[in-house]
Structure 1
Amino acid sequence: MTATASETRATRTYTAHAQPAWRRALLTRETAVIVLLMIVIAVALAVVPNFDSPLTVTYLLRDIAPILLIALPMTLIIITEEIDLSVASIVGLSSVMTGILTEAGWPFAVAAITAVLVGAVAGAINGFLITVVGLPSLAVTIGTLALFRGIAVGLLGTTAITEFPEFWTDLAKDNIPGTPIPGIMIPFMVLAVAFGVLLHFTPFGRSLYAIGLNKEAAAFSGIDVGRTKFLLFLMSGTVSGFAGVYFTLLYSNARGDNATGMELSVIAAVLLGGVSIFGGRGALHGVIAGVLLIGILGSALRLAGITSDIINVITGVLLVLSVVSASLLAWLRRRRISAIGKKKGRSATPVESP
């Protein structure tokens, strides 16, 4: 007896959409991160002295603000299966440009805008090398990480510029009136809404998931993969430039080594927030929860007297567990679908949807 074509061909099962809507909304890695965040907050409030003080909230949000900002474009980049390791070096370069131009007598607003534009140019260099020259983003951004940091350190050497207009430094440090929330959260929320709408509610955002899942198929469907990735690296450089200006004002310090190592914190938070390092999956609300989780956990442990080395170990363990758990869940899902297919007498090929 000959099987019909419909019986013998592989069945493509879109696992996420085969489940009820409530399960798709709640049983996700992003939800798990948010739940873990709430648990950490509850435990910290119960056992850590002074964790609930307004000053703790203020300093916590000030410290993680640059990471929150840079994580927005980094999320989009990693969803397309690329990476940008040069973001912290762009922050340092922007900081140095802010200090040098201010010291040269430029109006601070003009100096800050110029520094942000320098960040945009740095991002455009990354984008050009990746999308036009065709080099892998990992290799390119490792190189530009050293290049931009070298330029920043070369411009100032071991010196630091610490004199900035008081109006601007106060603006960077002031809170929203009547709250312990720093004013930098206002531009962050504006950018978060903009990036969230762009990623989750526009054709451009859907194209990012398509590129991350299969860039060849995305190109055949009419998506300009090169231009899209170039725009993402341009966004990353611009936002990193803005973060550099804020970093300079917050600490009243322009140095070539500012923000060294910050790229690792950004990438760790993005991956912890549910974005797949293999591309094609992730959500912005999970990333924001991931940044807050790392920041709040670190703040609570420091208040409890835990050393920074132990905090780094705990953060690293969380990151490894998040990556391993995602791979394990995907493997278990494939095994389950394969077993169902065999039981029905046909093979099932699972296809992850973003």
Structure 2
Amino acid sequence: MSDTTLAGTGATRTYRDYGHPLWRRLLVSRESAVILLLLLVIGVAMLRVNNFGSPLTMTYLLLDVAPILLIALPMTLIIITGEIDLSVASMVGLSSVLVGILHQGGLSIPVAGLIAVIVGCIGGAINGFLVTVVGLPSLAVTIGSLALYRGLAVGLLGTTAVTDFPQFWTDLAKSKIGGTALPSIIVPFLVLLVVFALLLHFTPFGRGIYSIGLSSEAATFSGVNVNRTKFILFVLAGAVSAFAGIYYTLRFGSARGDNATGLELQVIAAVLLGGVSIFGGRGALHGVIAGVLLIGVLGSALRLANVTADVINIITGVLLVLSVVSTSVLVWLQNTWQKSRRSARNRTAQHSPH
């Protein structure tokens, strides 16, 4: 068995859990607990909150959480490596402004959107370069790029808004799949989910991501190109954030420099609530999706129950704190239990006849 101790966290991460059968790793986990909590909240909301189970409510719920679902995919991979990207929401705003300005200048929505995604890749590459080549902490880098990208968005458009978008594209952003309550944005999300799930859970690249989160030095000696891996993830985060900005713009029919302000906090809260360790090295996408939906369902149910936005933010904050604290508590309980078992085995061995 291999152990890796993370300095400053007080937690020892081991590979022991990966020796358990797949069914146990899937069912006995924090991700499963989040899924069960999500189902419980949905059940209570449908029983106690009027109109919560209606198709219209489900449609607007998914429309609201769609940007968070999209951005949470690359954010999960970044946090598993032990890094973070706080600039994603400002990239949503910059992408929104670019689509508005470029379309106003005569470009079609697809061309304007493609340029916005390219700019998102460039923004992610800047973050990745500063983190991997220059060696700066990702927290400091992305706080700076958060201000930079938001400043560019506001500077390009000022306090005005571009609202003259073709009805076809705005209707498409709000459309539903056939006669169901599922919005069309779920289709590109599912495509990206499959891509990121395969990348993280079924490829050597994904195993390298977990290795980096456990120990960058050990990953390097194992042949993982740590800097290249992190750089790619930051570029992916920029591209997906830009795509989310395009959807955000068309859904609300408005390009503004302050679009999606504060969205990065909701994304990070959902990722951590979904079982990803803030220290890196563990997490799974199915738990993250459940975390996003849990926050969305809880917020939607409370709004329908006439709970104020401040109270909803407090509840979300409490959930986030508990999700972070629970990791250390569970590690402590696990270590205590393992020590007690070893002590019991030692006592048995000492008193057994030879």
Aligned residue number for residue 266 of structure 1: 267
Post-superposition Cα deviations, 1:315-334, rounded to whole Å, max 9, x if no partner, equal: 11111111111110101111
Greater mean alpha carbon deviation, residues 107-116 or residues 297-306: 107-116
Amino acid at match of 1:272: L
Shift of 1:345: 4.7
Aligned residue number for residue 245 of structure 1: 246
Q: 1:13 to 1:294 in 2, by over 3 A?
A: closer
In the alignment, is residue 156 of structure 1 matched against residue 169 of structure 2? no
Amino acid at match of 1:211: I
Number of equivalences = 335
Post-superposition Cα deviations, 1:235-270, rounded to whole Å, max 9, x if no partner, equal: 000000000000000000000000000000000000
Aligned residue number for residue 226 of structure 2: 225
Post-superposition Cα deviations, 1:38-69, rounded to whole Å, max 9, x if no partner, equal: 00010111110011111101111001000000
Shift of 1:171: 0.9
Amino acid at match of 1:319: L
1:102-113 aligned within 5 A: 102-113=103-114
Find the aligned partners of 2:250 and 2:49 in 1 and give their Cα distance: 30
Q: 1:20 to 1:115 in 2, by over 3 A?
A: closer
Amino acid at match of 2:116: A
Find the aligned partners of 1:164 and 1:19 in 2 and give their Cα distance: 53
Shift of 1:340: 2.8
Amino acid at match of 2:256: R
Post-superposition Cα deviations, 1:129-182, rounded to whole Å, max 9, x if no partner, equal: 001111110000000000000000000110000001111111111100110110
Aligned residue number for residue 131 of structure 1: 132
Aligned residue number for residue 70 of structure 1: 71
Q: 1:13 to 1:45 in 2, by over 3 A?
A: closer
Shift of 1:13: 6.9
Find the aligned partners of 2:206 and 2:119 in 1 and give their Cα distance: 26
Q: RMSD of the TM alignment (CA)?
A: 1.4
Find the aligned partners of 2:23 and 2:83 in 1 and give their Cα distance: 31
Aligned residue number for residue 284 of structure 1: 285
Shift of 1:339: 2.8
Amino acid at match of 1:64: V
Amino acid at match of 2:93: G
Gaps of 5+ in 2: 1-12, 348-354
In the alignment, is residue 304 of structure 1 matched against residue 337 of structure 2? no
Find the aligned partners of 2:47 and 2:30 in 1 and give their Cα distance: 26
Find the aligned partners of 1:181 and 1:305 in 2 and give their Cα distance: 25
Find the aligned partners of 1:279 and 1:209 in 2 and give their Cα distance: 8
Shift of 1:286: 0.2
Greater mean alpha carbon deviation, residues 55-64 or residues 20-29: 20-29
Structure 1: 4+ residue segments shifted above 6 A = none
Aligned residue number for residue 206 of structure 1: 207
Identity among equivalent pairs (%): 69
Shift of 1:15: 3.9
Shift of 1:108: 1.6
Find the aligned partners of 2:233 and 2:325 in 1 and give their Cα distance: 27
Q: 1:21 to 1:237 in 2, by over 3 A?
A: closer
Find the aligned partners of 1:21 and 1:98 in 2 and give their Cα distance: 45
Shift of 1:25: 2.5
Partner SS, residue 86 of structure 2: coil
Amino acid at match of 1:266: V
In the alignment, is residue 51 of structure 1 matched against residue 52 of structure 2? yes
1:72-111 aligned within 5 A: 72-111=73-112
Find the aligned partners of 1:343 and 1:58 in 2 and give their Cα distance: 55
Q: 1:14 to 1:86 in 2, by over 3 A?
A: closer
Aligned residue number for residue 316 of structure 2: 315
Gaps of 5+ in 1: 1-11, 347-354
Shift of 1:217: 0.5
Aligned residue number for residue 175 of structure 1: 176
Find the aligned partners of 2:19 and 2:109 in 1 and give their Cα distance: 55
1:339-354 aligned within 5 A: 339-345=340-346
**TM-score of the aligned structures, taking structure 1 as reference length:** 0.92
Find the aligned partners of 1:57 and 1:25 in 2 and give their Cα distance: 27
Find the aligned partners of 2:20 and 2:81 in 1 and give their Cα distance: 25
Partner SS, residue 60 of structure 2: helix
Amino acid at match of 1:318: L
Find the aligned partners of 1:17 and 1:110 in 2 and give their Cα distance: 45
Find the aligned partners of 1:22 and 1:318 in 2 and give their Cα distance: 27
Amino acid at match of 1:330: V
Find the aligned partners of 2:72 and 2:15 in 1 and give their Cα distance: 29
Find the aligned partners of 2:14 and 2:323 in 1 and give their Cα distance: 25
Post-superposition Cα deviations, 1:86-111, rounded to whole Å, max 9, x if no partner, equal: 00000000000000000011122111
Greater mean alpha carbon deviation, residues 156-165 or residues 18-27: 18-27
Find the aligned partners of 2:82 and 2:256 in 1 and give their Cα distance: 32
